[in-house]
């Protein structure tokens, strides 16, 4: 699984500053298990947004947001609500946000950060990957992760080394920052390409002692032995 935790309300509100109509999407898989994006959290977020003056055009929770075919099929009956929205707030891990952003022609804002549990993750269908950096950047990059889509993991791009849309280090791979440029342009948010993203705080990507002592990492280790 991928463990996630909600971003601060201040950060989420800043993403939605210019959006009046918001559709909220949660994940009944890993995000629900993490307590960051199940239906209970979706309902709480809906109330917060409405209290902040936003028009919540709809809410839903999908079993696994990392599965694009499932996301697209579940979105079909809600097309009118989605199209009437200025953006989607996606309450799940980085993979789920990317899968949703690839499935709908609307800006998608991440409501969560993905927390590193240590070790390796399972594989899933699709090209979306998450580095579990603990400080999700997807709002700046159109729902395409610069750390995994770009071979150099550049926060701010592009590097200038691409050739015909391909990466100079991996010629068989699309330039991640060209993909980001095209996505931002398609969702009328190209101005975000000029936003400077501060250097990463690598300490956020390290598993905390608390996480390592929970049943998400080791079932035999009592949580009470380690404090946050």
Summarize pLDDT for 100-156 with one digit per residue, the tens. 999 999 999 999 999 887 665 655 566 788 989 999 999 999 999 999 999 999 999
Q: What percent of the chain has pLDDT over 70?
A: 88
Tokens standing for 200? Answer: 């990463």
pLDDT of amino acid 37: 97
Whether 73 shows a pLDDT value over 90: the answer reads: yes
CA angle 71, 62, 135 (to 5 degrees): 85
Residue 159 CA, chain-centre distance (Å), reads 23
Contact (CB, 8 A) for 22 and 12: no
CA quadruple 35, 36, 41, 47: dihedral sign: positive
Q: What is the mean pLDDT of residues 88-111?
A: 97
Q: What is the mean pLDDT of residues 50-62?
A: 98
* Residue-level length of the chain: 228
The answer, as to whether pTM is greater than 0.85, is yes
The pLDDT assigned to 116 comes to: 85
199, two tokens:
């250097």
Where do the CATH 3.40.50.11860 domains begin and end in the chain? 3-139+199-225
The CATH number given to 3-139+199-225 is 3.40.50.11860
What are the φ and ψ backbone dihedral angles of 194, each rounded to 5 degrees?
-90, -10
């Amino acid at each position: 699984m991928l463990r996630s935790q909600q971003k601060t309300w201040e950060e989420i509100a800043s993403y939605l500053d210019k959006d009046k109509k918001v559709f909220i999407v949660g994940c009944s898989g890993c995000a629900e298990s993490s307590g960051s994006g199940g239906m209970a959290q979706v309902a709480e977020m809906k109330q917060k947004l409405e209290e902040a003056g936003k028009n919540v055009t709809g809410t839903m929770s999908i079993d696994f947001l990392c599965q694009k075919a499932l996301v697209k099929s579940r979105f079909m009956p809600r097309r009118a609500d989605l199209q009437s929205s200025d953006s989607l707030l996606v309450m799940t891990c980085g993979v789920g946000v990317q899968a949703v952003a690839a499935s709908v022609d609307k800006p998608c804002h991440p409501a969560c950060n993905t927390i590193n549990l240590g070790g390796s993750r399972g594989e899933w269908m699709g090209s979306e990957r998450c580095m579990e950096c603990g400080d999700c950047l997807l709002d700046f990059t159109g729902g395409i992760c610069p750390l995994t889509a770009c071979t150099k993991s550049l926060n701010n791009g592009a590097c200038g080394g691409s050739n015909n849309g391909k990466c100079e280090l991996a010629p068989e791979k699309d330039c991640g920052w060209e993909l980001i440029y095209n996505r931002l342009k398609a969702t009328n948010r190209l101005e975000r390409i000029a936003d400077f993203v501060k250097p990463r705080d690598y300490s956020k990507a390290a598993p905390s002692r608390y996480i390592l002592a929970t049943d998400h990492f080791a079932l035999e280790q009592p949580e009470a032995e380690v404090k946050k």
